[in-house]
Structure 1
Amino acid sequence: MSAQVDRQTGLDALEQRLAEDLSLLELPAKPWVAERTHDGERVRDVVVIGAGMCGLAVTAKLILTGINNVVAYDAAPAGLEGPWVTFARMETLRSPKTLHGPALGLPQLTFRAWFTAQWGSEAWESLDKIPKQQWMEYLVWYRNVLDLPVRNNVRMTGIAEAGDLIALDLEGAETGRVYTRHLVLATGRSGLGGFAVPDFLDGIDRRFWAHSADDIDFTALQGKRIAVIGAGASSMDNAATALESGAASVDLLIRRKEMPRINKMTGIGSQGVVHGMHQLPDAWKWKFVDYTAASQTPPPRSSTLRVSRHPNARFLLDCGIRAVTQEAENLLIETTQQPMRYDFLIAATGFKNDFSGRPEFAALAPHIRSWSDGRYTPEMGAPREDMLASPDLGPAFEFREKIPGACPMLAHIHCFNDAAMLTHGKVSGDIPAVSAGADRLVRGITASLFAEDVETHFASLIAYDIPELQGDEWLDSTPLLNKDNAL
């Protein structure tokens, strides 16, 4: 018997155990949401934008909760959702292999169960970190084994209000307009904005630079002098990929005088943080996020060694960028140390919450309340710009309006992506707590859908007429009672 057959046999057995567990737990729950139509078209209960890890976890949780009129759309082809095999250029995941990730409390749905079913316990014990390609393969299996309704190659191009519904314009493999009662934006690291690009790159031709999340042709960088901005994980991953692709040299331009070494939030990770952070007063939320942002997260040791093992790599500390000038065939970069010339620059500068930068959010952007709109007060600490731009979300990750009543549909649009971190903690972007985040979100949507249809549910209560007693379970003793108790 071949190894491939053995693997498939193990996977078949795992899927059978998962099916048995779901049956024992009576999952998925029976459908309970009243069906709606609009202009003769069926209205979705929930539409999820994004079918990466977070989008899959939310879609699965909705269906397991009995909200089955759901669909998830992703602009990427099947198997390329999220960052794992696109712009995530690390070799392995940063998270410990033991974390249950999007398993939603189901042991047979964990990466560990999926891995050991195919390669066995000894292979699991010898595994260090999860290869990113293998994590993507697990997510593909997760989607398939739960038969999740994901539609690929579909891009949302617009959002509009349609009475008490949300209208979505789509293009790609599915085109036209669909209507939904709730919308979940599981849009990943880019959140609601896009790339954070330093001002000194304004006006610089794109043939000379790329953002670390761009689709970069690294083979074209062979033999070239490369500069990479930053000292985070994406900086290391892009620098290493350039070096491995044959770059003549790679310099990491690092503004700090010392590399960050301690991953603060990982150090205090606990269920208390997962379930308690969003309940804290705003001042404490700000304090936690501000401190970790100021401390910065170090790149993984393995990613850093992946760069430093190359003799043509340099770590230039205390090297801030003052200006970038485009010359005929290269870039002149004025740094705090000295002027330097490079053939290409990679900006590993992260993402931003600039709602106005995304045309599909044009109808929402002016109305979304952020932390700068009164939730932040100077007593909390320094007014960090990226934190001030974070959306001020409700308990179910729903947006809030700047002006009450100006955009009611925001109450039914849920921000389940990296932009939610300041309000809700790290439960909508990273592997460790995504199941807890999905549970919190779906509980909120469930309560909202039930309340919206409360009259329908009460009418169902009144109309329900299936008797449990048939009337022949006892004898009518009323005549005897009257006789025995007659005065």
Structure 2
Amino acid sequence: MTVSPATPMGLAALEARLRQDLEWLELPAKSWVPPREIDGRRVRDVVIIGAGMAGLVASGMLKRLGVDNHVLYDRAPAGLEGPWVTFARMRTLRSPKQLTGPAMGLPALTFRAFYEAQFGRAAWDALDRAPRALWMDYLIWYRRMLDLPVENATEVAAIHARPDGILALQIVKAGVTEVVHARHVVLATGRDGLGGPYVPSITETIDRRYWAHTADAIDFEALKGKRVAVVGAGASSMDNAAVALEAGAARLDLFIRRTDIPRVNKFTGIGSQGVVHGFAGLPDEWKWRFLDHTLRAQTPPPRPSTLRVSQHPNGHFHLGSPILDIEERDGHLVLTTPKGRYDTDFIIFGTGFRVELMSRPELADFAPHIRLWRDRFPVPADMPNVELETSPDLGESFEFLEKTPGSCPALKAIHCFNFPATLSHGKLSGDIPAISEGADRLARGIVRSLFVADRETHFATLQAFDTPELQGDEWTDADAPSQEASHAAE
């Protein structure tokens, strides 16, 4: 039967095809890691903190390689993991629709397959970019199809290193605290995974009810009829400004420090498998040069996001307008820029994130020992960059390295699979395009570490294995004396 490209095959048919693909590829691989126990409870081979896109594909890769004794903890309820239906406010993803993202090289696991199965090829051809909420639906489907072991509404409050090298995680679920032991921990904790949202120090002078960061939960309905200011010109700033306008803000002022909005996405211009697999091999000075240039140029907001703001006559763009002062006056704020003073009722800061290890309670034991790039590399005088200076210096499998060798050996078992890994590995752990390649690098490194650590057990298994493949009756030794000759000699 020939199916028209316009006829959706349906998710059930796609799921059957995916199951067949996995069976043909003998996936997932058989479990092979020797079990360990502490106090009668199984030690997890890997705990993944975060069940967003990065955490899911990391889990998928581990399962694919036979490390099935792992778990993902996410503090969000099921279906709300990651930013997609929480603080992400764009209508569609910013990445091109055809990127295979977390599919791990399996065609039937791609977003395209998921979309076409439901809506058909013609709908795919007409689609510009993936709708944000539908992308979340895809990740929920992805999790279900790979049967990934996610535990929701579970927070990792602390991680401690035991003398035997095992990590003890204090987890909290439904108000109950327990300890889970793990050999490796993966931080799949997103943009703010090693710190939190950044806001300028000027916010310290104003009441918290007057402002929010783009990563906060914002009651946009409460902004109806209000004067709203947004600081920044990135994608999140544009998206939040648009939502405020669409919610009925009386006036929207977008304050942009630069004299022009960035227009060229520099890193897209060199996007290739060469960058994906080659960036980690660059000398330090070249890694720094590539990312410093990219960060200074900044990533432009998507054209649809920008038009979403400018189509409103009460949306105002102010270029060359950094915030110099904020003053609280008569129940509202007055913002001062080089170009004037502006009354506003609420400010949304689209000012990004920063690495601040000590702000992460789960890393409190380890933060003083984690080596950053400023500890590794002399910062070029002509290229100072705070974001790069505070990036963690990571090993080949995204593992933290010690600032002082021998001071904290357990760091090698904690893997930073989130956005701040970019300077060490390239853009493999925070964005859609190369997330599968990043997860593959991560999982293979963990597999190598687990096998090497258990080498004595594996060797003992090798020695003890005695299941014969031959029974001894499959051949005859041509030079052995025959039974007739033996009888004649008697």
Q: Which residue of 1 aligns with 2:170?
A: 169
C-alpha distance in structure 2 between counterparts of 1:137 and 1:409, whole Å = 37
Secondary structure, aligned partner of 1:252:
strand
Report the alpha carbon displacement of residue 333 of structure 1 after superposing the two structures with TM. 1.4
Report the alpha carbon displacement of residue 480 of structure 1 after superposing the two structures with TM. 4.1
Q: Which residue of 1 aligns with 2:94?
A: 94
Is this contact kept in 2: 1:283–1:380, CA < 8 A? no
Q: Which residue of 2 aligns with 1:249?
A: 251
**Equivalent in 284, 287, 290 of residue 288 of structure 1:** 290
List aligned pairs for 1:128-147, cutoff 5 A: 128-147=128-147
**1:48-98, Cα deviation, whole Å (9 max, x unpaired):** 000000000000110111000010010001010000011000000011110
Report the alpha carbon displacement of residue 7 of structure 1 after superposing the two structures with TM. 10
TM-score, with length taken from structure 2: 0.95
Is this contact kept in 2: 1:287–1:380, CA < 8 A? no
C-alpha distance in structure 1 between counterparts of 2:14 and 2:379, whole Å = 54
List aligned pairs for 1:32-71, cutoff 5 A: 32-71=32-71
**Equivalent in 347, 350, 365 of residue 348 of structure 1:** 350
C-alpha distance in structure 1 between counterparts of 2:87 and 2:245, whole Å = 16
Report the alpha carbon displacement of residue 191 of structure 1 after superposing the two structures with TM. 2.1
Q: Which residue of 1 aligns with 2:206?
A: 204
Is this contact kept in 1: 2:9–2:120, CA < 8 A? no
* Structure 1, unpaired ranges of 5+: 1-5
TM-score, with length taken from structure 1: 0.96
Is this contact kept in 2: 1:251–1:314, CA < 8 A? yes
Q: Which residue of 2 aligns with 1:3?
A: none
List aligned pairs for 1:291-310, cutoff 5 A: 291-310=293-312
Secondary structure, aligned partner of 1:226:
strand
Is this contact kept in 2: 1:231–1:259, CA < 8 A? yes
Give the alignment's Cα RMSD to 1 decimal.
1.6
C-alpha distance in structure 2 between counterparts of 1:372 and 1:325, whole Å = 36
Go from structure 1 to structure 2 and tell me whether the alpha carbon gap of 1:89 and 1:7 turns closer, same or farther (over 3 Å shift).
Answer: farther
Is this contact kept in 2: 1:185–1:413, CA < 8 A? yes
Q: Which residue of 2 aligns with 1:104?
A: 104
Name whichever of 399-408 and 40-49 sits farther off.
399-408
Q: Which residue of 2 aligns with 1:213?
A: 215
Secondary structure, aligned partner of 1:410:
helix
- Aligned pairs, how many? 477
Secondary structure, aligned partner of 1:189:
coil
* Structure 2, unpaired ranges of 5+: 1-5
Q: Which residue of 1 aligns with 2:3?
A: none
**Which amino acid counterpart does residue 472 of structure 1 have in structure 2?**
D
C-alpha distance in structure 2 between counterparts of 1:76 and 1:8, whole Å = 33
**1:397-431, Cα deviation, whole Å (9 max, x unpaired):** 00011111211111000000001011111010100
C-alpha distance in structure 2 between counterparts of 1:379 and 1:419, whole Å = 20
Name whichever of 287-296 and 335-344 sits farther off.
335-344
**Equivalent in 313, 316, 331 of residue 314 of structure 1:** 316
Q: Which residue of 1 aligns with 2:369?
A: 367
**Which amino acid counterpart does residue 427 of structure 1 have in structure 2?**
L
Is this contact kept in 2: 1:370–1:388, CA < 8 A? yes
Name whichever of 320-329 and 12-21 sits farther off.
320-329
Name whichever of 298-307 and 333-342 sits farther off.
333-342
List aligned pairs for 1:444-459, cutoff 5 A: 444-459=445-460
Report the alpha carbon displacement of residue 39 of structure 1 after superposing the two structures with TM. 1.5
Q: Which residue of 2 aligns with 1:417?
A: 418
**Which amino acid counterpart does residue 479 of structure 1 have in structure 2?**
A
C-alpha distance in structure 2 between counterparts of 1:365 and 1:73, whole Å = 21
C-alpha distance in structure 2 between counterparts of 1:118 and 1:111, whole Å = 11
C-alpha distance in structure 2 between counterparts of 1:223 and 1:424, whole Å = 46
C-alpha distance in structure 2 between counterparts of 1:139 and 1:7, whole Å = 23
Secondary structure, aligned partner of 1:479:
coil
C-alpha distance in structure 1 between counterparts of 2:432 and 2:410, whole Å = 29
Report the alpha carbon displacement of residue 460 of structure 1 after superposing the two structures with TM. 0.8
Secondary structure, aligned partner of 1:188:
coil
Q: Identity over aligned residues, as a percent?
A: 58
Q: Verify: 1:393 aligned to 2:394, yes or no.
A: yes
C-alpha distance in structure 2 between counterparts of 1:97 and 1:40, whole Å = 48
C-alpha distance in structure 1 between counterparts of 2:91 and 2:379, whole Å = 42
**1:10-47, Cα deviation, whole Å (9 max, x unpaired):** 11111111111111111101111000001111100000
Is this contact kept in 2: 1:166–1:181, CA < 8 A? yes
